[in-house]
Structure 1
């Protein structure tokens, strides 16, 4: 009951913040926060919005298979955020955009515009639903099953609560609720670390020394070019992950576009870009400490890294207080990610697909419909209940960002025209060709693409757009 009470108090505070920030809120507040958000609030809140509940659980377990090499990607993130801040944000602010895909309409054409928005909606709905499903499963398995709460009820209540506190204020509300949720997430992480250090009978200084001396504290890999953990692969991939999954993602950019000026948005972007290294260092450090604790207690490690933190934090092995911290941390991280996804999908559908950004009635109906579809996606994943199917969906979601990279790169780096009618076909063909290339290289040479598959996907889209422009000219239409 203490967990339920803590979560209810948490939701009560969220609703209070929502009520205070959504007074007299219309479409201008829902879509753009009336361009009045303090940049430092956006920056702090974006840390939580960028770390989903899956990340909260998964990152500590990464040390089991790949040590702390994930920090190489995080270092790449910093440079990626600089690219977004000083290349993409000036374009978005100069054009005074509500959704970033409007840029494609101005530069490439209407079908390119609709294609970009459609790829975003598809990938965001599937990706956000999978992440939220995994979090629901974790809470169900380790907390709610013992209380007799059925899974469908868990999903309906959690998604309904997200809809409730975002339905009026939208992005204006999220700037403030994300700040609160990031604070809760980081507080939960810190308190869990303190309890683990106590269980190890160490002082904080001794814990830092123990982590640094552990073999799992390895960060850099320069000696193996075929390894997916090679520094340059991780570093470059980190840059492009941020450029594509933040700079070309309406969900991640919508809050940044609520800042008063371009300069404030750039300060926000660079600030939370730097914050990712220390935050993820804490998660990975916790993972090493949990391995040390398992060794001390003589416990068998789980087969999957995702289960390392839940094995200790959600089963009561470290006390009921840690179970509460874990539950609040996972809920805060997952809600901070899911609420912004729901708001961004509503914004993109109304503005990009319907092209009716001033229709408040439509916006309310679409927001409710998106919440219902979100629930249905999560329920479907539960019915499928196949890890291989979920992995396949995750892979498909990853593929859908490549065409966005190619579309924006072509628009920004060239002044050439495209055959707008062919763009939807090019955007679909590029991921398919990517999949075939990845399968062939794996079968013939044993080489498996990692994050660099995103670059190949974007490159294929770019080449397709270039060739479509040449064909357009030869036909005499342009």
Structure 2
């Protein structure tokens, strides 16, 4: 596939996004930027959330990891169901009752100023890191497929990518993103469907044969019974539940869309239908992974391997096959799919970062609409620059699977949020508010130390469940600095 063709696809794709932005951002206000005027149809939110929640990480890494991890990731996905049920029945009613724009405002009402700022800070850190990883992935694919051949430096690729996101989101915010993410989710699902269909056709598999091939493959094993195995089913299942609660229910990015629904019942319908959809979509991604390796084996295609370990580099399998061994049409669909799924995640993250910083750090509502607009634009541009810097740092140090890196980062940065909300929801105690930042910084450090030594101490290696450990340590730290709520209220009359 020629670089000129790929550049034309990218240009055409962004023209569509900018047209959508122009049409949806007319008369945009802070209310429409932050929560789409609380008037979004629930089914549109549910569909748009698919693209936001998956990202380029799922698109490339999940299919690529089946050779080494089989379908063990499906245990995580099944855990998602529990997590989404908790979000829909516990967190959403709370957020709608308080009519929040930023979900971290709850922490101020429950604990106080410093707890509030700490929670918002950890979200900003977590989401900036996560969004940067996702953009790093797609920028690397585009660099390999297009820009290396044209002599364009990686830094230029990244800068252009993020500035294009800024261009179509800075006016309309969430109101625009609900439409662009709907379009991008359609493009992503089209890519997965076309890829599966074309590989099945090449392998002479009908629908029944396709299902049989995936089912009988050694790579489709879901249940692993060894508790010390990082693929242990129940460890993965529990991790999936907590990852969902934290990375969706306690994440401004994902909940911002849910808060744009017209009512709590609409938001709950959105969440429950989205749960069903996300499970099905992940089944397709894992099936795609099995077929990719089957296709490569049948065609005698040498897969990319690590020069040191000799292991297949899973993140490179789908891009390699799609751009070099599939038909031109399939290659075009792949490029559109990877762009769609990554930008659907990144544009939403950039808007959420802007929202949280404006609401939680700048207290933007105290200003008139004209000043709010200026602050929004400056913040939006500022976070665009932050993402560029983080991605360039990742380019220099990345040495592991992107999917693992994202969840490891989430384990350390989302853990304090899990501890804060758990303590607030499930205890009646107040806290010494000024000590909360110290607890939330200490917990990830203690978690990191335990994780670094757990194999030597107990023969146990942590995986995604590091998030639960981090949250537990935060919870215990908050308990240590807690006091009866009436005492805390006397010290902090705002509670």
2:10 maps to which of 7, 10, 20: 7
- The offset of 1:148, in angstroms, is 3.6
Counterparts of 1:142-221 in structure 2 under 5 Å?
142-221=145-224
CA distance in 2, matches of 1:216, 1:100: 40
The CA distance in 1 between the partners of 2:321 and 2:347, in whole Å, is 28
Aligned 8 A contact 1:199 1:318 in 2: no
Structure-to-structure mapping, 1:44-63, within 5 angstroms = 44-63=47-66
State the distance in 2 between where 1:429 and 1:389 align.
27
Are 2:73 and 1:70 aligned?
Answer: yes
Deviation at 1:454, TM superposition (A): 1.0
Q: Does the 8 Å CA contact 1:48/1:336 hold for their aligned counterparts?
A: yes
Name 1:308's counterpart in structure 2: 317
Q: 1:331 aligns with which of 320, 335, 339?
A: 339
User: Aligned ranges for residues 3-402 of structure 1 at < 5 Å?
Assistant: 3-221=6-224, 223-302=225-304, 303-314=312-323, 316-357=324-365, 358=367, 359-382=372-395, 384-387=396-399, 395-402=408-415
Deviations 1:89-115 (A, max 9, x none): 100000000000000000000000000
Residues 258, 267 of structure 2: 8 Å contact kept: yes
Q: 1-side partners of 2:250 and 2:342: how far apart?
A: 21
Shift of 1:304: 1.8
State the Cα deviation string for residues 304-335 of structure 1 (Å, max 9, x = none): 21122122112x21122222111111110110
Q: Deviation per CA, 1:211-265, whole angstroms, max 9, x where unpaired?
A: 11212121222x3222222221111111111100000010111011000000100
Shift of the alpha carbon at 1:389? 12
Which is worse superposed, 369-378 or 394-403?
A: 394-403
Distance in 2, Cα, partners of 1:408 & 1:340 = 23
Residues in 2 aligned to 1:23 and 1:369: alpha-carbon distance in whole angstroms: 23
Structure 2 Cα separation of the partners of residues 231 and 217 of structure 1 = 13
Match of 1:410 in 2: 423
Structure 2: gaps of 5 or more residues: 305-311
CA distance in structure 2 between the aligned counterparts of 1:422 and 1:385, rounded to whole angstroms = 34
How big is the shift at 1:143?
A: 3.1
Q: Output the CA distance in 1 between the equivalents of 2:123 and 2:56.
A: 21
RMSD value, Cα: 2.0
**Equivalent residues of 2:408, 2:464 under 8 A apart:** no
Secondary structure, aligned partner of 1:417? strand
CA contact (8 A) 2:10 2:336 kept: yes
After the TM superposition, which of the residue ranges 104-113 and 186-195 deviates more from structure 2? 186-195
* Whole-angstrom CA distance in 2 between matches of 1:253 and 1:80: 14
How far apart in 2 are the matches of 1:423 and 1:16? 45
Task: Give the Cα–Cα distance (whole angstroms) in 2 for the partners of residues 340 and 375 of structure 1.
Answer: 16
Q: Which residue of 1 aligns with 2:468?
A: 455
After TM superposition, the score normalised by the length of structure 2 is: 0.92
1:245 to 1:392, Cα distance in 2 relative to 1, 3 A: closer
| SS in structure 2 of the partner of residue 228 of structure 1 | coil
Indicate the residue corresponding to 1:425 in structure 2.
438
Q: Secondary structure at the match of 1:299?
A: coil
Residues 54 and 393 of structure 1: CA distance in aligned 2, closer, same or farther (over 3 Å): closer
Question: Cα offset for 1:380?
Answer: 3.0
Q: 1:397 to 1:242 in 2, by over 3 A?
A: closer
Higher mean alpha-carbon deviation, 229-238 vs 330-339, is at: 229-238
- For structure 1, the residue ranges without an aligned partner over 5 or more in a row are none
Tell me the TM-score normalised to structure 1 length: 0.95
Residue deviations 1:270-315 (CA, integer Å, cap 9, x gap): 111111221111111111111111221223343221122122112x
C-alpha contact 1:108 1:420 (8 A) present in aligned 2:
yes
- The structural deviation recorded for 1:150 is 2.9
Deviation, structure 1 residue 34: 0.2
Deviations 1:23-42 (A, max 9, x none): 10110100110001000000
CA distance in 2, matches of 1:388, 1:199: 32
Report the count of equivalent residues.
474
